[in-house]
Amino acid sequence: MKSGGQPGNNNREIYTLEVALDLFEKAKDILVADTSIITETLLTVKCKYALLLPISSYFYLRDEKFPLDLEDIKREIDAILEDRVMKSKDIMAAGIAAMTLKNKHKWKDQSGLDVSGGLEVISGITITLIKPGG
């Protein structure tokens, strides 16, 4: 079952596209203003209290009800969060940052190869994170 709740439950149908756009613009404003937010989970918790937007409603509006209409703002929020995770070495362990980039921002591992004199030599396995599309 989708996160919309029980069949016949229309509690989330109070959100129009205009309300959703306004809420997500305010969510982005919260994110920009508070540089300690480095994960979407923390952002949704802040939105729950600052905007009275339940966490499940945040994801319902973004992923189910208005996925295309909120796509641009979602990309902006993701880009800010991705940048903060990349720069978060003082806040989170490198391994956790790497897992966050892989799980939340679709980064991938790549094995490193050395090329010497035209011959490919495997110099051990070096894991490098590759940004999507990069």
b or e along 6-34 (b: 16 or more beta carbons within 10 Å of the residue's beta carbon)?
Answer: eeeeeebeebeeeebbebbeebbeebeee
Measured CA to CA, the distance from residue 26 to residue 97 in angstroms comes to: 26
pLDDT for 66 beyond 60: yes
Tokens representing residue 66 in the block: 């208005």
pLDDT in tens, 78-133: 899 888 877 776 666 665 666 666 666 556 665 554 444 444 444 444 455 556 66
pLDDT in tens, 6-44: 655 566 678 899 999 999 999 999 999 999 898 888 999
At 126 the pLDDT is 46
pLDDT for 75 beyond 60: yes
pTM here? Answer: 0.64
Question: Can you give the residue ranges of every domain in the chain?
Answer: 11-92
At 132 the pLDDT is 65
**Higher pLDDT among residues 106 and 51, named by residue:** 51
